[in-house]
Amino acid sequence: MPAIAKILKRATASCAVIGAVAIGSTAYANTLDTTGWLNGNITMTVHQGSLTENVYVGGFTGVWHSGTPDVATPISFWCYELTQYFNPGTSYPNYTAAPLSGATLIAELFNEAYAFAASSRIRSAAFQLAVWELEYDSGNLDVNAGTGFYATGGGADGIAARQQANAWLLGLGSPGTWSITRLSNTQHQDFITGGDLPGACCKGTVPEPPVLPLVLVAMGAAALVESRRRLSSRGV
């Protein structure tokens, strides 16, 4: 099992440490309540550049809070970074939600595998490995090897998770119909989740025009019509 102090010191991709803080009863806008693991986890060693670290691998459950009054949205989510950590069971304020840019392959992964990701800890870990592979080593698409990212260890379950991740990666190709949201915080792990969330910014929607300018335009148009009517009645 990874040393807890080491995980805290290195701020690794473990996405979890033991001894989580209980969630408070008050929810705040743009707050992520992390409630626990999606379906357990597998301890593996991840390699990315100079990083080699024992980590817990798997997805998470939680609640996204946004707006006044509060809108609470249950979500399943996955680690996106390899250089931050957090404690499941903790409530984190000051997260932002926005569409994940360049998420074509990750959207395809959600199409291919999301429906199965919560069915076992092996599949949950496999989905997380596939996300990291697409983010850090997209030219390879093999979680067992590569220069950008790969994983080792975990015994028989670790081997099964890597095999499942590679099978899903090999099956990519269907156009992704999922929208992918990134939850960001400068002090803690960034996550991704499938779908749009209340309070997410920058969705590319066209804002409604202000009411006052519309009223002025309408008044101007009416004045123009009246002016033309008067000129017409004078024979101009």
Q: What are 17-73's pLDDT values in tens digits?
A: 333 333 333 434 589 999 999 999 999 999 998 899 999 999 999 999 998 889 999
pLDDT higher than 60, residue 207: no
Is beta strand 71-79 parallel, antiparallel or unpaired with respect to 31-37? unpaired
Which sign does the torsion angle of CA 151, 153, 159, 161 carry? negative
Length reported for the chain: 236
Q: Is the peptide bond before 69 cis (omega within 30 degrees of 0)?
A: yes
Q: Tell me the percentage of the chain whose pLDDT exceeds 70.
A: 72
The string of DSSP letters for 181-197 reads EEEE-SSS--EEEES--
Whether residues 100 and 177 share a domain: the answer is: yes
Whether residues 155 and 216 share a domain: the answer is: no
Whole-angstrom Cα distance, residue 197 to residue 76? Answer: 12
Whether residues 179 and 233 share a domain: the answer is: no
Whether residues 20 and 137 share a domain: the answer is: yes
Q: Tell me the percentage of the chain whose pLDDT exceeds 90.
A: 58
pLDDT at 233: 52
Whether residues 179 and 229 share a domain: the answer is: no
pLDDT higher than 80, residue 76: yes
Whether residues 131 and 210 share a domain: the answer is: no
Whether residues 50 and 61 share a domain: the answer is: yes
Strand partners, 57: 42
pLDDT at 28: 44
pLDDT higher than 80, residue 234: no
Give the residue from 196, 176, 195 showing the smallest Cα distance to 108: 176
pLDDT tens, residue by residue, 91-102: 999 999 999 988
Q: Which residues neighbour 153 within 8 Å (Cβ) at sequence distance 6 or greater?
A: 43, 44, 45, 54
pLDDT tens, residue by residue, 21-31: 333 334 345 89
- Residue pair 223/217 in contact (Cβ under 8 Å)? The answer is no
Q: Which residues neighbour 87 within 8 Å (Cβ) at sequence distance 6 or greater?
A: 16, 17, 19, 20, 21, 34
Structural domain for 20, as ranges: 4-204
Whole-angstrom Cα distance, residue 140 to residue 119? Answer: 27
Whether residues 122 and 232 share a domain: the answer is: no
Count up the domains in the chain and report the number: 2
Whole-angstrom Cα distance, residue 236 to residue 234? Answer: 6
Is beta strand 150-152 parallel, antiparallel or unpaired with respect to 71-79? unpaired
Whether residues 136 and 54 share a domain: the answer is: yes
pLDDT tens, residue by residue, 133-180: 999 996 789 999 988 999 999 999 999 999 999 999 999 998 888 999
Is beta strand 180-184 parallel, antiparallel or unpaired with respect to 96-99? antiparallel
Whether residues 66 and 136 share a domain: the answer is: yes
Whole-angstrom Cα distance, residue 190 to residue 97? Answer: 10
Whether residues 180 and 194 share a domain: the answer is: yes
Whether residues 60 and 77 share a domain: the answer is: yes
